[in-house]
Amino acid sequence: MSRILDISPVIGPGVGVWPGDTPLTWEWAGRRSRGDVANVGRLGLSPHTGAHVDAPLHLADDGADVAALPLEVFWGPARVVEWPGGRAIDAAALAGRRWEGVLRALFRTRGAGEPLAYRAGYPALTPDGAAYLAGRGVRLVGVDTPSVDPFESPDLPAHRALLGAGVAILECLELGAVSPGDYELVALPLRLAGADATPVRAALRPLA
């Protein structure tokens, strides 16, 4: 069996979140050491914590929630694409690569051990880049950055272009230790009714 590559960041105390978003909290509601029957935790977090899926509801009041997303989009062949740091993911740059048969594109912009940074300067998708990928049949776009849009973006045009074209979005992946190439991706969204996003446990398995 091929080795499974975990591409989800560890979620724990101090995990980064988008500025102003809900920080992660964890406490014990029940502890055996206090006489309770079992250890039971209590978790509080933004659904955009760690590796996560954005649903259409994130930007449209009448958009689908994560519980309505089709699972097959998040399970299947994917291509990991190494992308130069700081360079926009636009149509002109994308046109220089081969996209035949690519249904899921994951962009690797950080090296191994390079932390995810919630600040300006990371490579982001442009609206024409989103339209380019959607027009070539890509059904899912994943990034190892905080957002498919620039950090300073006021209206998230790449989100709107992708979600409007029916393309799923995965953000905050850990791809630094993954070589460019073709893999099987599994990143299933939780079935959270009414939620605009959900954390996922994302993994890759190399394809022969």
Kindly tell me the burial class for residue 131, based on how many C-beta atoms sit within 10 Å of its own C-beta (0-12, 13-18, 19 or more). Answer: middle
Identify whether 58 is a catalytic site residue. Answer: yes
Residues 6+ apart with CB under 8 A from 33: none
- 50: number of CA atoms within 13 Å, CB side? 19
Write the DSSP assignment of 105-155 as a string of letters. Answer: EEEE-S-TTPPP--STTS--B-HHHHHHHHHTT--EEEESSS-SS-TT-SS
Structure-token pair, residue 36: 């309770």
Q: How far apart are CA 182 and CA 77, in angstroms?
A: 7
- Active-site residue numbers? 58
